[in-house]
Amino acid sequence: MLKHQSLISSMTLEEKIRLTSGKDNWRTVEMKHLGIPKITLSDGPHGLRHQEEDQDHLGINESNPSTCFPLASLTAASFDEDLLYEMGRAIGYEALCQDVQVVLGPGVNIKRNPLCGRNFEYFSEDPCLSAKLGTAWIRGVQSMGVGASLKHFAMNNQESNRMKSDSLVDRKAMHDIYLKSFEGPVKEGKPYTVMGSYNLIDGIYACEHPYLLNDVLREKFGFEGVLVTDWSAMNDKKASFMAGLDLEMPGGAVYFDEEVREAILTGKMEEKYLDQSVDRILDLVFRTRNSREKMLAEYGPLDKNSVDREKHHELSRRIARESMVLLKNELGILPLEKESMHRLIITGALAEKPRYQGAGSSHINPYKVTSLRDGLDEKGIKYTFFQGYSLMDEEQEEGLEEEILSVIEEDDIVLVAAGLPDEYESEGFDREHMRLPTQQNELILQLTKKSRKVIVLLYSGAPVEMPWADEVAAILNCYLPGQAGGEAAADLLFGEFSPCGKLPETLPHRYEDHVTSEIYGIENYQVEYREGIYVGYRYFDKAGKQVRFPFGHGLSYTEFQYEELSLSQYEIRMDKEEEVTVSFRLRNIGEREGKEISQLYIERMDQEGYVVKKSLKGFKKTSLRPGEEKIIEIKLQTEDFCEYDLKLEKEVLYEGRYMIHIGSSSQELRLTGEIKSRGIHLDKAEVPQYYARLDGKPSRSAFEALKGIRIRKTEIGKPFTVNNTLYEMKDALQMRIVMKIMKRMLADATGVKSEKDNAYKVVYSMFMHTPIKRLSLVSPDKMPKYLGESIVHIANGEFLKAAKKARDKK
Ligand code: BGC
């Protein structure tokens, strides 16, 4: 029975179809005569990107000012659900003030490879951490009566060819790693909406995937809200409806309306699917509108000036401070003293012009931004500044380096702000390598030859290689810290607070150490997830590979002691829903107040089958004064021990033994206990060779055996269709002129003057790699359906057909 049956019965078929795609980029369709108001959806996830005019979803045009909170790659390092809840609540409040009903976030895709251009928007390589933080963020936003949109569902782990890549993942990795990250947020966070991703999975578009949308998301996870496409991710609307998808965004193109209408009238699709989606959309609209009324009754009338900007700036500062990770601190060089005898030198263009957020749809227009220098100036710290390197102009490099090197003396304390320039990381493309710009690496190495007290502050959305890590005295990883990053770093450097963040991902020595380094970004049509469940630390641990800094690592200015592990029970059974309480004593044995993130990992002791050495299953952040101690409890449920069995095709608990490890990082395990499990006997069936030992890199044949398929290469060529991209069609001789015109159109549309401009690079890459059909969906005025189809005819050499299309405009 539908909730809004009587309203739906009063709608015409056309009205119902119309309601299932938006009005424009951000709004749903309003039907005044039916009493259906419109709602607004805006990006997320680290602040509100609400555009009233000049709409686009690529981060080009300005949006209303809002608070730029630290990015997910940094907030993940807080391991702090309360903090994520608070941040979500603040974003929800800003949404309420700007009359936005749904915030598009959080992104809980797993960081499969460090080069993914969008890793800054995602939390972790670990599904437990990612799921818990995503859940907290959703709860925070939704506590303000504003909906969240959990994205991007699913197996969307790269930006290269993101609209056409086909993720080939074995079912165990799919369930134990990639879908786990969504399961908690859906079941516990209950987001009002979930966003389907652009890519395909096993040859089927995510937005029309019956297994993922219906069997997993709706049936297994119990999702009852609105399933919305990523912007222009719709491919076949009938198939989407039947798989459980409801809302197509953005709207305005009415690309599929006629097709859907005809399918219903001719019986190709039952109308009940449409009604179901309309019902869910109506529910979202009324629910968010009603909760807005309630909130306004509580908070009073609100508008975009109602946000207490300073308060949110302070929150942004606190979140950044609670998340930054102290990777190294030799000889206790940190914290620094305000009145030091040593000269303090600050260097690095990023100390002045901070990189605090990434590019693309999540781009925020912040109220204000503080640099590292601002942070130090606020505290009245005396220092000398040298630019050291240039973010833009390679030619200036030598002069800048010389300038600082000529004055450095052995006892100088040198703070270097290093990191990735804007154009290195963005939605829409992946990084080409894991290195910092050469001039920055060079500068740091040269500095370490002159002073023993070099401290590096790192700014990047994802891991970088640190060839100087052994030479410098300290490293503070700031990731992309949001608008108050400068003050947050200064708070930590001068010891007003002790750092407490822990790495939410592994930092390898070199990119080549990564299990996917030989395959990632090479074949971007059939993307083989050859490593299976061995993602992140699960690979490094089992393969016994040294890393630069392990998952969960992070130092403090104080020290903690762990003692007395105990378990509330020593056996769990599959047939019972049980809760095991793991407790231990934690004491601050140092001289400063600090916070420790204790991590709980489990290890299945049966070494047959797909075994991982450690899987994170819980964590707790505790604040302790010097000498203080507390009994810490972390709870585990039976399902935390369950894993997907490839033969039984479901999650099961295996009979056996598990070690429970409590660690201050994934490699610093402090306490260990043991628990028995009563469940299914593991069928010690063949594990394809590679997965038993992880020697070397996984081969295609090992992966084919794991997944039980033969991989066939996608051939790209004529005849082209609207599902092809301009990039795929560009080499046809006649396309040269078309490409010239297109480039000009793009420059006009984006207002970007130079091709060197970062914004242009981002947009150009997305434009070239978006199928023509999706360009028509996202930009119906600039690329109407007939124009898109004419271009395809031209690429195919069908000039008469192209001319006819252009003439008839149909
Ligand atoms: C992104 C989404 C975003 C949407 C709307 C897409 O390009 O993938 O994450 O929410 O645009 O801006």
Q: What is the pLDDT of residues 148-181, one digit of tens each?
A: 999 999 999 999 999 999 999 999 999 999 999 9
Q: How many CB atoms lie within 10 A of CB 127?
A: 26
- Nearest atom in ligand 1 to the alpha carbon of residue 766 is 7
Which mutation among 54, 57, 158 tests ligand 1's pocket best, with the greatest number of atoms within 8 A of CB?
Answer: 57
Each residue's pLDDT tens digit, 399-409 = 898 899 999 99
Q: What pLDDT score was predicted for residue 266?
A: 97
- Nearest atom in ligand 1 to the alpha carbon of residue 198 is 8
Q: Rounded CA gap, 535 and 114, in Å?
A: 11
Residue that wins the pLDDT comparison between 355 and 54: 355
Query: For 473-477, 542-546, 765-769, which range has the lowest pLDDT when averaged over its residues?
Result: 765-769
- Nearest atom in ligand 1 to the alpha carbon of residue 107 is 9
Q: Which residues contact 644 (CB under 8 A, 6 or more apart)?
A: 171, 172, 174, 175, 176, 650, 651, 652
Q: What pLDDT score was predicted for residue 623?
A: 98
Question: Residue 161 Cα, ligand 1 centroid: separation in angstroms?
Answer: 15
At residue 462 the predicted structure's pLDDT band, cuts being 50, 70 and 90, is: very high
Q: CA-based angle 730:731:732, to the nearest 5?
A: 95
Among 23, 5, 33, 18, smallest CA distance to 275 is for 5
Q: Which protein residue has the closest C-alpha to ligand 1 atom 12?
A: 57
Task: Map residue 718 onto helix, strand or coil.
Answer: coil
- Is 257 designated active site? no
At residue 222 the predicted structure's pLDDT band, cuts being 50, 70 and 90, is: very high
Question: Residue 234 Cα, ligand 1 centroid: separation in angstroms?
Answer: 13
Secondary element (H or E) of residue 454: strand 453-459
Share of the chain above pLDDT 70, in %: 98
Question: Residue 233 Cα, ligand 1 centroid: separation in angstroms?
Answer: 10
Q: Rounded CA gap, 398 and 34, in Å?
A: 68
- What residues line ligand 1, using a CB cutoff of 6 Å? 43, 57, 104, 151, 230-231, 361
Q: How many CB atoms lie within 10 A of CB 779?
A: 21
At residue 766, does pLDDT exceed 90? no
Secondary element (H or E) of residue 595: strand 594-604
Share of the chain above pLDDT 90, in %: 86
Among 285, 299, 284, 291, smallest CA distance to 97 is for 299
Q: Which protein residue has the closest C-alpha to ligand 1 atom 5?
A: 57
At residue 57 the predicted structure's pLDDT band, cuts being 50, 70 and 90, is: low
Residue type present at position 433:
H
In this structure, what DSSP letter does residue 493 have?
Answer: H
- Nearest atom in ligand 1 to the alpha carbon of residue 104 is 10
Residue that wins the pLDDT comparison between 507 and 748: 507
Which mutation among 40, 48, 60, 104 tests ligand 1's pocket best, with the greatest number of atoms within 8 A of CB?
Answer: 104
- Nearest atom in ligand 1 to the alpha carbon of residue 149 is 10
| Structural tokens at position 514 | 């990564």
Question: Residue 111 Cα, ligand 1 centroid: separation in angstroms?
Answer: 18
Question: Residue 211 Cα, ligand 1 centroid: separation in angstroms?
Answer: 23
Mean pLDDT of the region 355-376: 94
Residue type present at position 416:
V
At residue 54 the predicted structure's pLDDT band, cuts being 50, 70 and 90, is: low
Q: What pLDDT score was predicted for residue 595?
A: 98
Among 540, 610, 523, smallest CA distance to 164 is for 523
At residue 610, does pLDDT exceed 90? no
Residue 304: which region, alpha, beta or left (left: phi > 0; alpha: psi -120 to 50)?
alpha
- Of 176, 230, 491, 541, catalytic: 230
Q: What pLDDT score was predicted for residue 120?
A: 98
Which mutation among 361, 362, 364, 769 tests ligand 1's pocket best, with the greatest number of atoms within 8 A of CB?
Answer: 361
Q: Rounded CA gap, 775 and 255, in Å?
A: 11
Q: What pLDDT score was predicted for residue 578?
A: 87
Query: For 29-43, 44-58, 255-269, 549-563, which range has the lowest pLDDT when averaged over its residues?
Result: 44-58
Among 165, 150, 95, 89, smallest CA distance to 319 is for 89
For the chain, list the domains and their CATH numbers: 25-225+288-299 (3.20.20.300), 317-505 (3.40.50.1700), 560-707 (2.60.40.10), 726-809 (no CATH)
- Nearest atom in ligand 1 to the alpha carbon of residue 59 is 12
Residue type present at position 618:
G
Q: Rounded CA gap, 482 and 313, in Å?
A: 9
Each residue's pLDDT tens digit, 501-523 = 999 999 999 999 999 999 999 99
At residue 396, does pLDDT exceed 70? no
To 10 degrees, the CA torsion angle through 16, 18, 24, 25?
60
Q: Rounded CA gap, 365 and 200, in Å?
A: 32
At residue 672, does pLDDT exceed 60? yes
What pTM value is reported for the model? 0.96
Question: Residue 57 Cα, ligand 1 centroid: separation in angstroms?
Answer: 6
CA 338 to chain centre: 37
Q: CA-based angle 718:720:724, to the nearest 5?
A: 130
Q: Which protein residue has the closest C-alpha to ligand 1 atom 8?
A: 230
Q: Which protein residue has the closest C-alpha to ligand 1 atom 2?
A: 230
Question: Residue 576 Cα, ligand 1 centroid: separation in angstroms?
Answer: 41
Mean pLDDT of the region 643-647: 93
Among 222, 9, 131, 119, smallest CA distance to 615 is for 131
Q: What pLDDT score was predicted for residue 52?
A: 84
At residue 394, does pLDDT exceed 70? no
In this structure, what DSSP letter does residue 248 have?
Answer: B
Question: Residue 272 Cα, ligand 1 centroid: separation in angstroms?
Answer: 29
Q: What pLDDT score was predicted for residue 58?
A: 61
Question: Residue 317 Cα, ligand 1 centroid: separation in angstroms?
Answer: 26
Of how many residues is the chain composed? 810
Mean pLDDT of the chain: 94
Mean pLDDT of the region 647-652: 94
Q: What pLDDT score was predicted for residue 56?
A: 66
Instruction: Dump the DSSP string for 719-787.
Output: SP-TTSBHHHHTTSTTHHHHHHHHHHHHHHHHT---TTSHHHHHHHHHHHTSBHHHHHHH-TTTS-HHH
Which mutation among 63, 231, 777 tests ligand 1's pocket best, with the greatest number of atoms within 8 A of CB?
Answer: 231
Q: Which protein residue has the closest C-alpha to ligand 1 atom 6?
A: 231
Residue that wins the pLDDT comparison between 81 and 684: 81
- Nearest atom in ligand 1 to the alpha carbon of residue 49 is 12
Q: Which protein residue has the closest C-alpha to ligand 1 atom 4?
A: 231
Question: Residue 469 Cα, ligand 1 centroid: separation in angstroms?
Answer: 36
At residue 423 the predicted structure's pLDDT band, cuts being 50, 70 and 90, is: confident
Question: Residue 124 Cα, ligand 1 centroid: separation in angstroms?
Answer: 19
At residue 415, does pLDDT exceed 90? yes
- Nearest atom in ligand 1 to the alpha carbon of residue 197 is 8
